[in-house]
Structure 1
Amino acid sequence: MMRDPQPRAVDLSTEPFPTLFAAPHRLMFFAGALAVLTSMSWWALQLAAWRFGWIGWPTPPISPVSAHAILTQYGMLPLFIFGFLLTVFPRWLNRPALSRAHYIPVAGAVFGGYLIANAGLLGWPWALSLGIEVMAAGYVATLLILGNVLRAAEQRPIHAWSCMVALTVGTAGLLMFLAYLFGASPVLMPIAIDLGTFGLLLPIYFTVCHRMIPFFSGNVAANYVVRRPAWSIPLVWALLLAHTFLELRGHQAWRWLADAPLAFVFAWHACAWQPWKSTHPGLLAVLHLSFAWLPIAFVLYAVQSAWLMFGHTAILGYAPLHIMTIGYFGSMLVAMVTRVTHGHSGRPLQMTAIPWLCFVLLQIVVVLRVRAEFGAHQLTWLLIAACGWLVAFLPWVLRSLWIYLMPRADGKPG
Structure 2
Amino acid sequence: MNSVTLPASTLRIIAAAPHRMMFLIGATNVLLAMVWWAWWLIAARWLGGTSAQPPVPAGWLHAIVMQYQVLPAFMFGFLLTVFPRWMALPELRREHYVPVGIGMFGGQLVTLAALAGFGDAEILLKIGAVLTTAGWLTGTVWLVRLVYQEGGRTWHAVSCAFALSFGVLGLLLYSTFLFLDEPRAVFAAIKLGTFAVLLPIYFTVCHRMIPFFAGAALRGYQPVRPMWMLGAFWALTLIHLWLELRHGYAWLWLADVPMAAMMGWLLWRWWPRRRQMPPLLRVLFVGFAWLPIAFVLYTIQSLEFAVSSAFILGRAPAHALFIGFFGSLLVAMVTRVTQGHSGRPLVLGKVAAFAFIVIQLVAVTRIVAELVPDSLGAQAIAAAGWIVAFLPWVLRSSWIYLTPRIDGNPG
> Which TM-score tier does this pair reach, normalised by the shorter chain?
over 0.9
Q: CA separation in 1, counterparts of 2:202 and 2:217?
A: 22
Per mean C-alpha deviation after superposition, the further-off stretch among 221-230 and 197-206 is 221-230
Cα distance, 1:319 vs structure 2:
0.8
Q: 1:187 to 1:392 in 2, by over 3 A?
A: same
Identity of aligned residues (%): 49
Q: Which amino acid aligns with 2:184?
A: V
**In the alignment, is residue 47 of structure 1 matched against residue 41 of structure 2?**
yes
* 1:227 partner SS: coil
Q: Which amino acid aligns with 2:102?
A: G
Asked if the contact 2:10/2:402 (under 8 Å) is kept, the reply is no
Q: CA separation in 2, counterparts of 1:276 and 1:402?
A: 37
Q: Which amino acid aligns with 2:76?
A: F
Corresponding residue for 2:232? Answer: 235
Q: CA separation in 2, counterparts of 1:366 and 1:55?
A: 25
**In the alignment, is residue 91 of structure 1 matched against residue 88 of structure 2?**
no
Correspondence 1:72-91 to 2 at 5 A? 72-91=66-85
Asked if the contact 2:36/2:116 (under 8 Å) is kept, the reply is no
Q: Taking structure 2 as the reference length, what is the TM-score of the superposition?
A: 0.95
Q: Which amino acid aligns with 1:333?
A: L
Deviations 1:62-118 (A, max 9, x none): 100000000000000000000000000111111100000011111000111111111
Select the residue among 256, 281, 284 that pairs with 2:253.
Answer: 256
Q: CA separation in 1, counterparts of 2:8 and 2:108?
A: 28
Select the residue among 100, 120, 127 that pairs with 2:94.
Answer: 100
Unaligned 5+ runs, structure 1: 1-10
Corresponding residue for 1:208? Answer: 205
Q: CA separation in 2, counterparts of 1:55 and 1:187?
A: 26
Corresponding residue pairs, total? 404
Select the residue among 95, 103, 112 that pairs with 2:106.
Answer: 112
Cα distance, 1:53 vs structure 2:
3.2
Per mean C-alpha deviation after superposition, the further-off stretch among 184-193 and 147-156 is 147-156
Correspondence 1:148-297 to 2 at 5 A? 148-154=145-151, 156-277=153-274, 279-297=276-294
Q: CA separation in 1, counterparts of 2:16 and 2:273?
A: 37
Select the residue among 335, 360, 373 that pairs with 2:370.
Answer: 373
Q: CA separation in 2, counterparts of 1:340 and 1:82?
A: 13
Q: Which amino acid aligns with 2:116?
A: L
Asked if the contact 2:43/2:50 (under 8 Å) is kept, the reply is no
Select the residue among 389, 402, 407 that pairs with 2:404.
Answer: 407
Q: 1:48 to 1:13 in 2, by over 3 A?
A: closer
Q: CA separation in 2, counterparts of 1:292 and 1:277?
A: 17
Cα distance, 1:56 vs structure 2:
4.7
Cα distance, 1:151 vs structure 2:
1.4
Correspondence 1:351-366 to 2 at 5 A? 351-366=348-363
Select the residue among 13, 17, 21 that pairs with 2:15.
Answer: 21
* 1:280 partner SS: coil
Unaligned 5+ runs, structure 2: none
Q: Which amino acid aligns with 1:67?
A: L
Asked if the contact 1:275/1:285 (under 8 Å) is kept, the reply is no
Q: CA RMSD in A?
A: 1.6
